[in-house]
Structure 1
Amino acid sequence: MAEPEALKYMSGFGNEFATEDPRCPGALPEGQNNPQKCPYDMYAEQLSGTAFTAPRAHNKRSWLYRIRPSVLHTPFKPINNGNMTNNWDSWPPNPNQLRWRPFDMPGEGAAEVDFVQGLSTVCGAGDTRSRHGAAIHIYACNSSMSEKSFYNSDGDFLIVPQQGELLIYTEFGKMLVNPNEICVIQQGMKFSVFVNGPSRGYVLEVFDGHFTLPDLGPIGANGLANPRDFLTPMAWFEDRPSDYTMISKFQGKLFAAGQRHSPYDVAAWHGNYHPYKYDLEKFMVINAVAFDHADPSIFTVLTCQSNKPGTAIADFVIFPPRWSVQERTFRPPYYHRNCMSEFMGLIKGKYEAKEEGFQPGGASLHSMMTPHGPDATCFENASNAPLKAERIADGTMAFMFESCLSLALTEWGDKTCQKVDPSYYEVWQPLQKRFKAEDGQAMA
């Protein structure tokens, strides 16, 4: 994919930014946020990500100075949703441990499928109308969104590319997002995805608030994902007539409208509500150095908190390359039953707790209170290995979407995709009874 012009970024998570396209010096008004007449005879338009009266520390909004206002389009009409849904009652529950083989991508000679058409919902919970819940999607596409733009009225998209780079046009500027990077497109922001061949990845959608950095508590001021490593695009615009299709996801359904110009006509903007991207390689790992396996919360990159303190609608957690140095302990993840739902994906490499069967481009789901943990091979090896300092997960990046919601499978996720591995449960079957009495004799 050709490197786009004006692909420039500003750093810092949630910062108040002010940027203008250098082709229009002075496009940002001085003084008033919304003067009687904007420079270059543009239109001022505010995009609000929170209520007007939200506390200042949580208030999210940006002012866009654009050539034409967003309201200039034809009426929206329903279009086909494809495999994307927010209907969680159309398929029976399944409490089993689930693992998916790598999800299909459009093959050679296949029909053109763009990012929106290639979205398929695996699972989710909640309601878009009451703004509470989350959904997990897979995208698989082979075509760019030429003359087509999308925005999500229901919530934020956290996009995790697994194969194929994404060039994303937004109203705020352009972002190039590669595998092992992520990006967040927040509620209401228009964007188009351009690809160079077959591409696949994961999407976490939240309906509640917005993603934030987790509090660090006793860790202190530094660690995990550092704010300065998040990048936000600088202003870039195009002014050209075009028959654009605008797609809106509204209350779980897709709608399309037409407009006669590019939606990426913002010459300047300022505010703290904007898209951003992050390179997972820059995550500062905090790990145990004495004994025991620390909870996976120490690997949280971003969180969308619920109204219950310390409980997330969704956490985005990664398992990056790191040193394992604990003494007198079982180092892999412990066997576990959880009041949260755990959806895992693999960007590259081999996940240390399940090196066989869990493949890049695939996934697993361990639902609320469904037991899970290392497979039998991992348990046997880790129980007998010498406890010396060793590198783990080199060349690997696994991640987890963890939610306090009890996620419901869709028909596509459980059946239609035909990627569910029916033999997954077998990885634990070789686990043997090892209990012995104090005299060393096996008990009857």
Structure 2
Amino acid sequence: MAESTAFPPFSPAVTQAAVQAASTAYPADYLIEHMLKLSHYLIDLANHSMLFGPAGSDPYSPSLHTLLLRLLNKQLAPSRLPTGFLTPEHTTAQVRLRSDKEAADRPLADYEDLYYALMSRMQEMYQLLKLRIQSGFNMASHAVCEDGPSLAELHASLAQYWTVFNDAACGRALDNAVREARVQAIREEVVRQVEIDNMTVEDAQEQLEQLYSADVYNGIVGLHFVQDWAPAMVGAYLEHKYRGMLDLEKKDAAARARTQRRLAKMNSVKESLAAAAAAADDKLRVQRHIAQAVKKTASTRRDSRHDNLSPTVLQETTTTTTTTLSQSSHHANLPNLHCSPESHVQLHPGTQHEAHAAALSSPQPDMQRERAYQEHLHTLVEWQMKTQRVSEYSSYLRARASHGAQHVVEGTRRTTESVAASDSADLLAPDVALDLDLHLGEDMEF
């Protein structure tokens, strides 16, 4: 209990009368610098220590953390117009607007709510430190956090800051800044009413003259003296002041999130469709390339077969035909002799060549046609071989007949000496020649 005396209470809260009676005021940049420094220090301390409960990080709750972020993000506070002037349009405008200055360069009036949050947080931390020491949970020498100050050092630091912000000169500077900002907001609203023809120029001039009179100006609310308020009361005041604006910002954020999700989904669908279309195009391109390659290969094979096979077949056919015609011509010039009928086979080389050429020139898109072509070629070769054998046998028969006819003629010449026998032989020759011609005609028709 003795250590509790190491944590004396903060100095009493400054009164409004003391502020109004103060003859000096702190510079605005001095107060802004210390408020920013103290805010960062307290937020960082709460993030690293569990002595003061969880740090408030809800962006839609007017905590010390939220108010500091709004200043850093160039967001504006709720409108300073009196309640009678406020409309939903004013709240919406404040949500959409942004300051054109950085946090350190903004007017001192913009730090009004941060000042309230700082004073409330310092009182709350002092009460928690005092409670822990009195209950025996901690001692003054205990560290607030790892590598942090002790509880006694933290209390001393908070007491120094409290003395600065609770000074009448600080209150006077903030009170004047807030009151001037409220007057400026009313003046801008009067001008806007004139621009939209809701107020005449004469009425506007009269309103502005009254606004800057001593009675009206002093009656405008400036700084709220919350130094003697409980921390919960300060939190309730800030919650009431910011509730409309934060709710609207929350709705806007939800709408933007839905829009972003919708756009992301649409982009994902578009990318999927584009990828599918590209894949289909690639597949079609590959199929066309394969089809062209197969067609080109088949055409090359047909041309190669035609070049390799056609001359051979034509040469064999021509050779066979020439041989047959030569043999026929040779036997036609032999001595005429009547002999028995012979069987002769007639070869039609022109017809076979036309059929073969038609088979070669016709398209063969698959293996069945190629197989049919091979069968046709095999049949043609067999037919040529049979024709050649028939031709050879016919030549053999003609040779035998010619040899026998020579013996007959020689015997006839030795035994016959008369002219009648010679005339009879002359009369017989045309008949034999005619008979041979008839047999050759039958062979050609076969």
TM-score by length of 1: 0.21
More helix by share: 2
TM-score by length of 2: 0.21
Max Rg structure:
2
More strand by share: 1
Q: With a CA cutoff of 8 Å and minimum separation of 6, indicate the structure with the bigger relative contact order.
A: 1
